[in-house]
Structures are given as structure tokens and as C-alpha cells.
Structure 1
């Protein structure tokens, strides 16, 4: 099988917004976690997000960007706002709510992050393709397959599990992050090779 061509799309633009000047991680919510995911995720999605937020804010100096990409009829914006309601006032200045519709800017913002926690496939694929460690909260098999392709399947959670908190704490450790980033670099090298082989095959078929 050949890889998704979006994984090799590397175009980035300059991101100089004030919101992204200090080190940050990203959370990308998805309204579908409340109606399409497992029953346990539907019941515990907000709780898990709030606990992950608390761990990051209390155990690191990272800011958190609540990044909304799905707009229009999507309720992701409402989910994102509700997820940060429980943030203690002492930390309120370290969580940033940000809406970005442009997919190139979205990927460029992700490229500047320390790691990403996401429920949107596009955001997770963007992170991994840029060697940015990521944690997936999901309900579809394609999320698991994506993380398996990148040799980080232990970071994909189809069910809420206490291990997710251990994973986010591990990503707060720079040495451990570097280990994961090296895994992603190896995976991306293989994906790039497969992509080149795919295009070579397409070109040869067009010429024949």
C-alpha cells in the first residue's frame, strides 16, 4: 500500500503571531467524540481533556493552544471552549483559544508546537508528518492505523485509559520526546520513499 499523499506535503508559512512566541503544546478537539466515539469516551471526554490540561499546566511551563480547525456547521468551537472552562484562574493566562481555517497555516502552527493532543485526523497526521509527537483520542480504526504506521501506536487511545495521562507526562520530558521524534523521523523517511515509488509508478504507467 502507498501512503496518503498529504503526509508528504511539507509547505509551511511563517507564523509570527504573539500567541505562539512562547513554548506551547496543542489540543485539537472534535465534537464527534461526544456522539461517534465509544460510550466511555462520550461520558468522559471533557473529564479527560480537563485532566490532561491540568497535568500540562501544573507540571510544565508550556502554554496550551486550544486549536479549532473545523468551522462552519461544526461544534468543535463549543467543545473547545467548554473544555477550558474548568481551568483554574491562576493558569488562565497560559491557555490560548485559537481558530484557524487555513490548512497550510494550521500545519505551520503545529510545526512550532512541542506536542499535540488531538481528536481530528488531519491535525494528527500533520503533527506526525512533521515529527511532532502526538496523542490521539479517537473512535475510527484509521487513527490506529496512522499511529501504527508511525511506530507510535501506544499513543492512540480508542478508549479512555489512565495510560493517556502517563503518555502526556512522558512527553513533558525532553529526552523522551527526542526518542519519539527519532521514531517519527525514521517513519517519515520510509513514507517519503514509498511516496516517491508511487509517483514513479504513476509516471511509468502514464508513459506506457
Structure 2
């Protein structure tokens, strides 16, 4: 029997559909390696029943504040017992794929970045690859954050960067980036949508509107709560316009409880239905059948654009404009969201919807080829 190849996928979860899609994209890309055994760390959004359905081993780790006992757990004389119960320590992991999407920069706690840097260094010393899957980075303004990121850049086997702005943020830490830092697009583009029983049957053309609570969260913007009413008004105005044009409006919850609250607030101000689908590939299938989309969720927009569905993205970070530019849709990225700006963009999209769909299908093919090249590069490192 061949030795198992234990791969931990970090930064993913089951509640946020984008994070779930990145988990599935990792598993899809690894299917060429027959001995891969999935490893996941327990967490509130990675509950045991769902981990078990994927056959995942449980990663043993312990971090509380500045205390990190994870590297010491492997020194305990109980590894055989742990393994019998489906648990592995860090030292037993052969490869880490870090797929957080956007979790490294000054807007997040410094300790998280520093803990990851220490882990990357440990893997490098053990001769095991630690790979950052395509994601956004930065900014890094403080010297401690730059120092931690330098350790990551110098010791990670590969760092796939999703956009040029993130690349510049990495260059602020290391001016001459090594060849292990590679610019490449989002890697969920090629995932095949799969409808299931959760997908509602809609009689007639519909538009998918995908809100995002982060846009009105104090965590991301100091004045975001002040923008909440305007955000709801903008989405409601777009829904009303779409209704006038003969589209049914579907508010798609792409995340969970907090997005559900936002969906309810928008639905109270416009005629629309709320759609809640748990399976991320079924969500993609539903969005793919829409005539058009308006999305504040990064992977909600990817789900639309990658299937030829014209989409307006409302932005709260640099990653949105770069993603829309990948699909030749940069002019449909609304960075200053108001009722007027969204309606103006929507009117333009409605006027050019047919030709935009054709362009998107061509761009999706090109980006899928770049995804394939990314996986070829990754396999060169781990073989």
C-alpha cells in the first residue's frame, strides 16, 4: 500500500461559499495525486460532521493569544493513539495549501501573520512545501508586519498572487521578489457548477443580486455602518429597476447569517426573493442561469463571470477591480457605491448584455488555461 500524502488545506470553511469553493478547487486540483489524504483544522465554520463527509483527518493544534503549542504537540509520545482517532500533528503533514483568499495584511491581527510566518519557516526547515494558493495580500505598513511577510516570502515554496496591487504590497516587503512568487488569477474559475434539489426553479428570466455584510462592517471600514442605509437603498433601487425591465430579482445569500440579515433588509425595500443554497457548486449553478448579476461577494462575481453571466461588482478592496479586469469588466466595478452609480452601471450593462456575455466566455477560457498552468507549476514543486 502506498504511503499516504497528507495535505492540509488552510483558510477554508463551509459557511462562506467562496471559502468552500476554494476548498473544492484545491481538492479538484489534487485529484491527479492518488495518495492525497485531506487534513483540516477544527473550527466553528469547519464542524466535524462536514469534515468527516470529506474523509478529512483532524489537525491537532493549539493557539490562544500569543501561546502556540502546535509545534510541540508532535513531540508527545502519543502519536499512534492520536492517529487511531483520526488526528494528526503538524509534523505529520506533508504539504500545506493556504487558501484564505484575503487574510494577510494590516487590516488583520499582526499575531495571525506572525504565527503563519513561524509555521512557514518550520515547514521549510523540515523540507516540506508550504504553498499560498491564489489570494490577495496587503497592505503591509508596519515593520513587524513587513518582517513577518519577509519570512513568508523567503521560506514559502510558492506564493500565488491574485492581482498586481497585492504584488506591489509584497514588493514593499521584499523589493526583488523570488521566482516562487507568481501572479495568477483566482483558481475557482474552472470549477464545474452542479445543480441539486436546493436550486429553485424560476419561471422566466431572473437577475442574481449578491450582497456582502463586510461592506457595512466596522471591521473593514470605520464609517461602514453609516453607509448601510445607502447600500440597502442602492440594491433596492437596482432591484426595482430590474423588476421594471421584466426580470425576477433573486437575492442570493453567498455567506450565512450576517448576509441573511442584509438580504432581509433589502427585500423589505424592493420586490425580490431570497435564495439560500448550501452546496457551493449548486449556488454556482443557480447564478450561472441568471441573465445578469450584481455582486458584493468576490466569488459571487467569479461564479457569474466564469459562466458568461454579465456582472457588476461593488468593491470594498483592491481585489475586486483586479478580478473584474481579468474578465475585461473593469468598467463595471463600482468602487463608490451609491444609488446613482449602481443604476448608471446597471443601465450600461443592460444595453451591452449580449456582447458582454460573448466576451466573458472567451475570457473564462483564457483564465482556465492560466489555472491549469498554475497547477502544473505547483506539481513541479511537490513531486
Tell me the TM-score normalized by structure 2: 0.47
Cα separation, 1, equivalents of 2:382 and 2:253: 40
User: What is aligned with 2:326?
Assistant: 149
SS at match of 1:135: strand
1:170 aligns with 2:344: no
Contact 2:185–2:326 (8 Å) recurs in 1 = no
Contact 1:34–1:42 (8 Å) recurs in 2 = yes
- Deviation (angstroms), 1:54: 1.6
| Distance of aligned partners of 1:205 and 1:123 in 2 relative to their CA distance in 1, 3 Å threshold | same
Deviates more, 1:128-137 or 1:6-15: 6-15
**Greater strand share, 1 or 2?**
2
| Distance of aligned partners of 1:141 and 1:18 in 2 relative to their CA distance in 1, 3 Å threshold | closer
| Distance of aligned partners of 1:76 and 1:194 in 2 relative to their CA distance in 1, 3 Å threshold | same
User: What is aligned with 1:63?
Assistant: 248
User: What is aligned with 2:365?
Assistant: 189
Contact 1:66–1:97 (8 Å) recurs in 2 = yes
User: What is aligned with 2:263?
Assistant: 80
- Deviation (angstroms), 1:130: 0.9
SS at match of 1:167: helix
User: What is aligned with 2:212?
Assistant: 30
Which contiguous aligned blocks of 4+ residues in structure 1 show a shift greater than 6 angstroms? Answer: none
| Distance of aligned partners of 1:42 and 1:138 in 2 relative to their CA distance in 1, 3 Å threshold | farther
Larger RCO, structures 1/2 (Cα 8 Å, 6+ apart): 1
User: What is aligned with 2:239?
Assistant: 53
Cα separation, 2, equivalents of 1:41 and 1:153: 23
| Distance of aligned partners of 1:149 and 1:17 in 2 relative to their CA distance in 1, 3 Å threshold | closer
Cα separation, 1, equivalents of 2:205 and 2:284: 16
State the superposition RMSD in angstroms. 2.2
Question: 5+ unaligned residues in a row in structure 1: which ranges?
Answer: none
- Deviation (angstroms), 1:21: 2.8
SS at match of 1:53: helix
Aligned residues: 196
**Greater helix share, 1 or 2?**
1
User: What is aligned with 1:117?
Assistant: 294
- Deviation (angstroms), 1:102: 1.2
Cα separation, 1, equivalents of 2:312 and 2:264: 20
